[in-house]
Structure 1
């Protein structure tokens, strides 16, 4: 009973910054032995976690006693956790929400809601090195089963053999190390998130101030009131913000994940080549839901750094934690050009950056920037190569259904709807039989060496019309990507097709040497990238019926769209054998 009373007294003792008192001040006569004894006691006290109350400065030796103390005062932390079904990060927000209210002297809401915890500012610890956050794994389970199991374990442990105790100690030590890594990753993610948030706030304020100053100057000059200056992120970079916001919703990620050609190619390469990933540091750019990062972690990566500017990063973080991989994967929110990585160099960059006609969205620019800054000289890009293709097509049925349709809509002529109908590059899944000429490769990109300036280009191509070419109605563009084990792979050439490259080793080697590549073209399984269909505007260009075996050649130009930094203009120049050269431009915005 005396021991229990002593413990109770310790629990209710308020935390003080200084422990001196009148009697302590007069203790100059203490012996050196007493000083050593006090030092030993202080060292023992430092080893024990100091759990500070959520409601005041009282200090407790463990989480349970602190939570019971708070519950007696009307704050049932565990009940809030269970009611809101909070995960690891939700609990951190709850702790910091309560501590911030206490620190501000504000009243804690009678019923804390999920809306109270939405702000990411509550990921930042109110207390430095808050021991309560370190001890989240020690919280009682939501049912009584956890307590009963703990009691049973304690009773069993009382008479357990030394070997069992040693094993139990090793398991606890491993768990502690895992939690330490998890907490380190959490702190890093919090720092990055808040740094980006505060920088954005500062930029918004600066932009607003400049805008107001400009407006004031204009008013002073003209004597007329001016329109209010734009404020916020949209004023800074509306096009890019819209791009990133489009990836914040589930629909687009569901589409990409269900694209088995895409997702399984990444999975197969990573899992079949675990020797490349084991013990390595991997950077995942545009991580989305975190699927590629989790593949890499499962393959044995030492650390995976997942970066995304979109709000989807918050869900990726939860996915990673829910799958027990937060000790390996750290998530950073922001553009790759702006975040600060926890390492100087990475061994592998994995990214699913590809867009329509390969380069639409201009995400490869950011990947190449990261490659030049972070990838080691012998590092690997995943995927490693891309090949772009073009072919003439015969599309009479498509034109009848989607172009001529407007000339007779339930008996009405809606010709005006055809205005500009030929100027867009249409993203469609087209059957192989519409291709009426040999496919021509016009660009092989090695992602280890290609430069940003190489992504706007003019390339030559040549094709031959097939025997079944009934008409020439346009061009079809698509691409293949390759996943090579080595930085240099001479088997991938400008005319290499993905399916043929994979087939060369199929059934002839083990999993590790099996090649991985895929096509988005009409001769493969459809993907969410589809193909780029460029229909000829025959009101402006003159086209005759192609003859079997007739040659056709020209150039294709990839141009960055004006006023649309992530868009493309595709300009094709061509001349069939015996005919004059013609040109048309299509927009992919």
Structure 2
């Protein structure tokens, strides 16, 4: 904020009643000590000085003003807004200390209500003198402020922050180098070079490319669908609670925590600390949920992307994540999981789930094909066949009847979560589909199975033969259906890659014989 944008100080920081500009500083200091008592920010208790009130807030409410100042790089204006926000909104102190953003960062909170001693506190000097503690009780330094372990913790946190910044800088320098190479190639090679160069810059998804994706997870309905998916949710529950010996006393990272259900399963299993992270706004509701279930001391929730957030710990013992999308790889959340694994998982740590397998199977459903594809041949007496080409490029998310499956399933890709990389989304797989009964092949269908290889193992499938999940199946309809007889085989190849325009989307090409079909999941 520029100085010109700030409201005049005389409007917002009016001196207390009875103050005279001609009085000297000694009279001001005397008034500060003997004036009206200071009321705690979070309870009705009153104190003679701000210093004592600050120490009370720190010890009784776990509200450390100096930590907040450093965390948000607060200035006096931010401090004024925070005090007014607390007085107006009356939040639980944990909301302020656990939030990853300054909830009071709105100029509306610069407009003060009743003047009080908190607004006259010299916030700029807080913690600025190394020889002076930031809290004091009646002028005496609390012993707890000089605790050696606290100093070690602060040093460790600052060291981690420095390492994180150095890592970001190093990655930025590498990205700049890559962009220079791409630019040089484009200038020298023209349009063909653009196509060949783009895959080289695909890595962890850049910040800001996916606001729509995270916004979609801010809506109630999508979390209702996922939680109501008993196959999904109960599998995670069983994997955690039936292996609780692995969780007791451990530090857990929940990547893409959503409403916090996996974090709470982990807490129930006896984990000592769970860090849940999610970029969508639903994480604020998750904070309410954890408090509602009395897990606020065990579960620490953070709003942000794992790639751009500095976690409070250097390593975790277990990573849990429900990262899978349609056709397993849609949404690109695997990138975030890989980043979390590579940066935060302790050597020998556990991953849940640890393996996923992507399958392809043949489908014969002429009734559905006619409704979706042949529908355009005659629409109220008019031909709209030109629409078919567009419809056939879409991958449909549907529940495929098990009775319509006419071939054996084949494996397209096995994803080992311990070793996979962000290039896992880009693969090509030859396949042979063998007919198990006669039928007209109208589509090929993708689905995946998920495995938790633990002492008490758990797995679930999203295939047509299994109970329905919110993932359903991914259906790729053929432009030219193929008549198949029992025992007959068709050979083909499926290629999957990221979309250029949306790195969370997928481009899928299916080749069968001389026919090549192009699809998108976007």
| Distance (Å, rounded) in 2 between the aligned partners of 1:254 and 1:437 | 34
| Distance (Å, rounded) in 2 between the aligned partners of 1:394 and 1:443 | 23
Aligned equivalent of 1:397: 367
Q: Give 2:476's match in structure 1, choosing from 518, 534, 538.
A: 534
Q: Give 2:355's match in structure 1, choosing from 385, 403, 422.
A: 385
1:444–1:90 CA distance, 2 compared to 1 (3 A): closer
Q: Secondary structure at the match of 1:373?
A: helix
- Alpha-carbon shift at residue 460 of structure 1 (Å): 2.2
Q: Give 1:367's match in structure 2, choosing from 337, 355, 361.
A: 337
1:445-464 correspondence to structure 2 within 5 Å: 445-464=415-434
Aligned equivalent of 2:484: 546
| Distance (Å, rounded) in 2 between the aligned partners of 1:248 and 1:56 | 43
Aligned equivalent of 2:413: 443
- Alpha-carbon shift at residue 515 of structure 1 (Å): 2.5
CA contact (8 A) 2:316 2:346 kept: yes
CA contact (8 A) 2:51 2:135 kept: no
1:447–1:86 CA distance, 2 compared to 1 (3 A): same
CA contact (8 A) 2:33 2:48 kept: no
- Alpha-carbon shift at residue 444 of structure 1 (Å): 1.4
CA contact (8 A) 1:50 1:62 kept: no
Larger Rg: 1
Q: Give 1:323's match in structure 2, choosing from 259, 280, 293.
A: 293
- Alpha-carbon shift at residue 125 of structure 1 (Å): 13
- Alpha-carbon shift at residue 451 of structure 1 (Å): 2.0
1:15–1:442 CA distance, 2 compared to 1 (3 A): same
- Alpha-carbon shift at residue 436 of structure 1 (Å): 1.1
Aligned equivalent of 2:241: 271
| Distance (Å, rounded) in 1 between the aligned partners of 2:124 and 2:370 | 63
Q: Secondary structure at the match of 1:421?
A: helix
Q: Secondary structure at the match of 1:347?
A: strand
| Distance (Å, rounded) in 2 between the aligned partners of 1:562 and 1:394 | 32
User: 1:541-566 deviations in whole A, cap 9, x for unaligned?
Assistant: xx542122111222211111111101
Asked if 1:565 corresponds to 2:498, the answer is: no
- Alpha-carbon shift at residue 14 of structure 1 (Å): 6.5
Q: Give 1:484's match in structure 2, choosing from 439, 453, 463.
A: 453
1:277–1:92 CA distance, 2 compared to 1 (3 A): closer
Structure 1 unaligned segments of length 5 or more: list them: 1-12, 18-48, 64-79, 111-123, 132-183, 200-235, 486-512, 576-580
- Alpha-carbon shift at residue 420 of structure 1 (Å): 0.7
1:398-477 correspondence to structure 2 within 5 Å: 398-467=368-437, 469-477=438-446
Aligned equivalent of 1:253: 223
Q: Give 1:343's match in structure 2, choosing from 298, 310, 313.
A: 313
CA contact (8 A) 1:53 1:59 kept: no
- Count of matched residue pairs: 380
Aligned equivalent of 1:29: none
Q: Secondary structure at the match of 1:586?
A: strand
- Alpha-carbon shift at residue 483 of structure 1 (Å): 0.6
Q: Secondary structure at the match of 2:369?
A: helix
CA contact (8 A) 1:14 1:57 kept: no
Q: Give 1:574's match in structure 2, choosing from 498, 504, 512.
A: 512
User: 1:199-238 deviations in whole A, cap 9, x for unaligned?
Assistant: 9xxxxxxxxxxxxxxxxxxxxxxxxxxxxxxxxxxxx965
CA contact (8 A) 1:313 1:331 kept: yes
- Alpha-carbon shift at residue 333 of structure 1 (Å): 1.5
Aligned equivalent of 1:518: 460
- Alpha-carbon shift at residue 396 of structure 1 (Å): 0.5
| Distance (Å, rounded) in 2 between the aligned partners of 1:459 and 1:266 | 29
Q: Secondary structure at the match of 2:225?
A: helix
- Alpha-carbon shift at residue 443 of structure 1 (Å): 1.4
Q: Give 1:107's match in structure 2, choosing from 102, 108, 112.
A: 112
1:6-45 correspondence to structure 2 within 5 Å: 16=33
1:362–1:544 CA distance, 2 compared to 1 (3 A): closer
Asked if 1:311 corresponds to 2:244, the answer is: no
Aligned equivalent of 2:12: none
User: 1:264-283 deviations in whole A, cap 9, x for unaligned?
Assistant: 11111100000011111110
| Distance (Å, rounded) in 2 between the aligned partners of 1:363 and 1:478 | 17
Q: Secondary structure at the match of 1:420?
A: helix
1:220-239 correspondence to structure 2 within 5 Å: 239=209
CA contact (8 A) 1:428 1:531 kept: yes
CA contact (8 A) 1:462 1:553 kept: yes
| Distance (Å, rounded) in 2 between the aligned partners of 1:522 and 1:97 | 46
Name the one with the larger strand percent: 2
CA contact (8 A) 1:52 1:58 kept: no
1:334–1:574 CA distance, 2 compared to 1 (3 A): same
CA contact (8 A) 2:252 2:319 kept: yes
Q: Secondary structure at the match of 2:286?
A: helix
CA contact (8 A) 2:243 2:456 kept: no
CA contact (8 A) 2:377 2:384 kept: yes
| Distance (Å, rounded) in 2 between the aligned partners of 1:588 and 1:367 | 21
How does the TM-score come out when normalised to structure 2? 0.64
1:146-165 correspondence to structure 2 within 5 Å: none
- Alpha-carbon shift at residue 404 of structure 1 (Å): 2.2
1:137-152 correspondence to structure 2 within 5 Å: none
